[in-house]
A and B are shown apart, each in its own frame.
Chain A
Amino acid sequence: MDFDFSDEQKMLRDEAHRFLGDVSSFASIRRHLETGSAFDRGLWARLGEMGWLGVAVAEEQGGLGFGPLELCVLNEELGRCLAPVPFFSTVCIAAEILKGCTGAAAARLLRRIVGGQAVVTLASAERSDWNFDIATRFAGGKVSGSKTLVADLPGADALIVTALDADKEPLLLLVDALANGVMRTALQGLDALRPQAHLVLDQVDADVLARGDEARQLLARVHEQAAIFAAFEQIGGAQGALDMIAAYGQQRYAFGRPIAGNQAVKHKLADMLVKIELARSNAYYGAWSLEAGPAERPVAAAAARLSAIEAFEFAAEENLHLHGGIGYTWEADCQFYYRRSRLLAVSLGNAAQWSQKLLAGYSRGI
């Protein structure tokens, strides 16, 4: 048994931790929010220079040639600092879909992602998410339909769109976000750091990336994978919230001593750590399954998501609560974890959906 990240992967984590600590802070997040731009373009360019945008892309395709474990590591660090960049949608979802597609268009776009020249997002949600129960139609090279809640759409250069052809065969399509007939309407939501928008496509030119069972399987695999990456992001966020309250709890005095000296407070912090460590352990197993365990992956993803949702929610809620009145202000940074934990608790499927998957796995005898 060697159930840990490698030394190189840990070095990457340390490097990411240092780098993001230098360039991304709550102050920089607030400055970014005031600009009203879709994402922090300066930071995105730096991530491209460091190779992060192609960390899991093969060297022949311009990437660093590492695998999904490196993405886990980076997601944890990005989740901790809440950097306003479209990393998840572009690198963890879109690039992973493109890697699974053959054809020149996919390869070209992948190179542009790696080089930092393209932000790409998946537009799939209609009645529900991540499936082909959809009304969007593709015929004669043009796609029409509408998609809701598309993450990072406001700043996207290209879109991967789910659609059905005339025979109701599933398709993954590539659409230029600036093409004629693409309409985006930004939405105001709980977490402005990760902008979402509504998308309408009216007779828009599109290329087919994948079709039929291939498209279906690719989408399902990327979904499971993304759930595991998201668990790491949640763990990073939970750890960030715990670090924040552990520091504040030592500095804030009441009744002549630090508030963190009281058991009612410190036991909550201990519980945060316990929940984080359980979630981390499940996420490690998820990470292992990304490379080595396709059969175990659905269950691993479900357990990782359920425990990461619980850990981040608890940490974010109690972090705010234990700050007292200041925690409820705009001025305090507790809000960022509070908002993000709610967003991540429901993106990629909520706890009820993952519960069904986990128990289904037990029934099958995982």
Chain B
Amino acid sequence: MNVQDTPEEARFRVEVRSWLQATAPEFCKDLPADRSGIEYAARGQDWQRKKAAAGFAAICLPQTLGGRDASPMMEVIFAEEEARYPLPVGPLTSIGVGLAVPTILAHGTPEQIERFVKPTLLGELLWCQLFSEPAAGSDLAGLRARATRDGDDWIISGQKVWNSWAHVAHWGLLVARSDASVPKHKGLSYFLLDMRTPGVEVRPIRQISGESEFNEVFLNDVRIPDCCRIGQVGEGWKVTMTTLMNERVSVGGESGTLPDVRSVLGLLQTLEPELQAVYRMQLARLAAQEQGLKYFRFRLLTQISRGEMLSAVAGMGKLVYANLLQDLSSLALDIAGTAGLYPETASPAMAAELKKFHDGYFWGAALRIAGGADEILRNQIAERALGLPGDIRVDKEVAFSKLPSGR
């Protein structure tokens, strides 16, 4: 039982720290206030390039692919140290590095790997995920975007929605229905879509937070060459699962810019002692969750570093973190009272702190839905980890074209 870095890990941490100290501050300076804009994305790409040049872009991948052949533990060490700085990181680059790259590596042809992996790691390609549709989110396999074969091409028509960073992405990961006459999981195919293709129309959606980080994407008879299909025709679900599995492991990483127990405790200490006492047990309960999540990840890392398969409980990390973030943020905003809702009335330092709780209040809500909503994750834990019966399903053996649909 040991939680300390091995000598090798400790050396790597020192290396990473000194590299970040020398490099990161410049990339954190004067970041644009609009964190979903094109300018912000460009800054994110710059940072990705910088990391790639120093060999930190894909720590676990083989050197031939642009990685450094190191252990997953080293990747975590880098992420931990990186999270100490308010850098332009997040889904903007991680959709490519964390979802597209492993998916293409697992199911792509050597040509596809050659064409996409390095440029993505180098920050040259930004990606978006074109999965969800107005009528298919949790029930992703119920998607309707159609893929019709036409010679060496496919013609795609349909609508995607909630697609983060589609407004700046160069390429998209797309699932579409190539056969509606078979049950829904069996008629899907998976494609890589060049977002500049004629017929692709991206419209930003304004979010509850006021930002526009996600979009709706209309696909009007968009042509995709067959060489951009990943996996076999009709086996798109298998490829999709690879993407989703990587998403569920990655979603839920903390960042230094979001609220944590320490920041709420700081706020609590501004209250009268009697009022503090009322909140303390509630906060301690969340503190125990924060600690538990940290050490749960340590356990997963230990398993990963031994090359063991992760069990279905591994998916609980996102479930716990999303709820913790929402609970912590709303507790903080409760402690701050009415004034906390109006950061501009506070001192600059306090205003920045309050802004963080506002962000957490919104982002917590988003995380509880994105990448598998709470209820879907609970179903998975119950069915896969505990072996409990599945839900009653009316769509299993029925041709997709015969299924009922709602709003």
A residues neighboring B (CB under 8 Å): 1-6, 69, 242, 246, 249-250, 257-258, 260-261, 263, 266-267, 269-271, 273-274, 277-279, 281-282, 284-285, 287-288, 291-292, 299, 302-303, 306-307, 310, 351-352, 354-356, 358-359, 362-363
Q: With A278-B292, A278-B320 in contact, do A362 and B287 touch (Cβ < 8 Å)?
A: yes
Query: Which of A4, A274, A363 neighbours the largest number of chain B CB atoms within 10 Å of its CB?
Result: A274
Q: Report the contact-size class of chain B (Cβ under 8 Å from the partner).
A: 35 or more
Residues of chain B with a CB closer than 8 A to A303's CB: 287-288, 291-292
Query: Can you identify 20 A-B contacts, CB atoms within 8 angstroms?
Result: A1-B9, A2-B302, A249-B388, A261-B392, A266-B388, A270-B379, A270-B382, A270-B386, A271-B378, A273-B313, A273-B381, A273-B386, A277-B316, A303-B287, A303-B291, A303-B292, A352-B281, A355-B281, A355-B285, A356-B284
Task: Write the nearest CB–CB distance from A11 to chain B, whole angstroms.
Answer: 15
Does B3 count as interface, using CB distance less than 8 angstroms?
yes
Residues of chain B with a CB closer than 8 A to A310's CB: 285, 288
Are B284 and A359 within 8 A (Cβ)? yes
Q: Which residue of B lies closest to A365 (CB)?
A: B262
Residues of chain A with a CB closer than 8 A to B379's CB: 263, 266-267, 270
Residues of chain A with a CB closer than 8 A to B302's CB: 1-4
Residues of chain A with a CB closer than 8 A to B11's CB: none
B residues neighboring A (CB under 8 Å): 1-6, 9, 73, 261-262, 265, 269, 280-281, 283-285, 287-289, 291-296, 298-299, 301-303, 305, 313, 316, 319-320, 375, 378-379, 381-383, 385-392
* 9 further contact pairs, Cβ within 8 A, besides A270-B379, A274-B316, A362-B261: A1-B9, A3-B302, A257-B392, A261-B388, A263-B379, A266-B388, A270-B378, A288-B3, A306-B284
Are A273 and B292 within 8 A (Cβ)? no
- Closest 10 interchain pairs by CB? A355-B284, A278-B292, A261-B389, A281-B295, A266-B382, A306-B288, A281-B296, A270-B381, A303-B291, A270-B378
A292-B287 Cα distance, complex, nearest whole Å: 22
Are B2 and A269 within 8 A (Cβ)? no
A3-B313 Cα distance, complex, nearest whole Å: 17
A6-B320 Cα distance, complex, nearest whole Å: 27
Of the residues B269, B288, B386, B392, contact of A358 by C-beta under 8 Å: B288
Are B1 and A291 within 8 A (Cβ)? yes
Of the residues A263, A270, A285, A359, contact of B3 by C-beta under 8 Å: A285
Are B313 and A277 within 8 A (Cβ)? yes
A5-B303 Cα distance, complex, nearest whole Å: 12
Task: Write the nearest CB–CB distance from B204 to chain A, whole angstroms.
Answer: 35
Are A288 and B280 within 8 A (Cβ)? no
A69-B265 Cα distance, complex, nearest whole Å: 32
Residues of chain B with a CB closer than 8 A to A287's CB: 1
Task: Write the nearest CB–CB distance from B195 to chain A, whole angstroms.
Answer: 38
Are A250 and B295 within 8 A (Cβ)? no
Are B389 and A260 within 8 A (Cβ)? yes
A327-B68 Cα distance, complex, nearest whole Å: 57
Query: Which of B5, B293, B378 neighbours the largest number of chain A CB atoms within 10 Å of its CB?
Result: B378
Of the residues A246, A261, A278, A358, contact of B293 by C-beta under 8 Å: A278
Residues of chain B with a CB closer than 8 A to A242's CB: 386
A281-B290 Cα distance, complex, nearest whole Å: 11
Q: With A4-B1, A355-B281 in contact, do A281 and B381 touch (Cβ < 8 Å)?
A: no
Q: Which residue of B lies closest to A5 (CB)?
A: B1
Residues of chain B with a CB closer than 8 A to A284's CB: 1, 295, 298-299
A351-B287 Cα distance, complex, nearest whole Å: 13
Q: Which residue of B lies closest to A282 (CB)?
A: B292
Are B391 and A281 within 8 A (Cβ)? no
A172-B193 Cα distance, complex, nearest whole Å: 75
Residues of chain A with a CB closer than 8 A to B392's CB: 257, 261
Q: With A270-B382, A273-B385, A274-B381 in contact, do A356 and B299 touch (Cβ < 8 Å)?
A: no
Task: Write the nearest CB–CB distance from A328 to chain B, whole angstroms.
Answer: 23
Task: Write the nearest CB–CB distance from B11 to chain A, whole angstroms.
Answer: 14
A260-B316 Cα distance, complex, nearest whole Å: 20
A291-B1 Cα distance, complex, nearest whole Å: 9
Query: Which of A1, A271, A279, A284 neighbours the largest number of chain B CB atoms within 10 Å of its CB?
Result: A1
Query: Which of B305, B383, B388 neighbours the largest number of chain A CB atoms within 10 Å of its CB?
Result: B388
Are A3 and B388 within 8 A (Cβ)? no
Are B386 and A277 within 8 A (Cβ)? no
A355-B281 Cα distance, complex, nearest whole Å: 6
Q: Which residue of B lies closest to A363 (CB)?
A: B265
Task: Write the nearest CB–CB distance from B274 to chain A, whole angstroms.
Answer: 15
Task: Write the nearest CB–CB distance from A362 to chain B, whole angstroms.
Answer: 5
Residues of chain B with a CB closer than 8 A to A351's CB: 281, 284-285
Are A359 and B280 within 8 A (Cβ)? yes
Residues of chain A with a CB closer than 8 A to B280's CB: 355-356, 359
Residues of chain A with a CB closer than 8 A to B387's CB: 246
Query: Which of A242, A266, A270, A362 neighbours the largest number of chain B CB atoms within 10 Å of its CB?
Result: A270
Are B287 and A2 within 8 A (Cβ)? no
Residues of chain B with a CB closer than 8 A to A1's CB: 2-6, 9, 73, 298, 301-302, 305
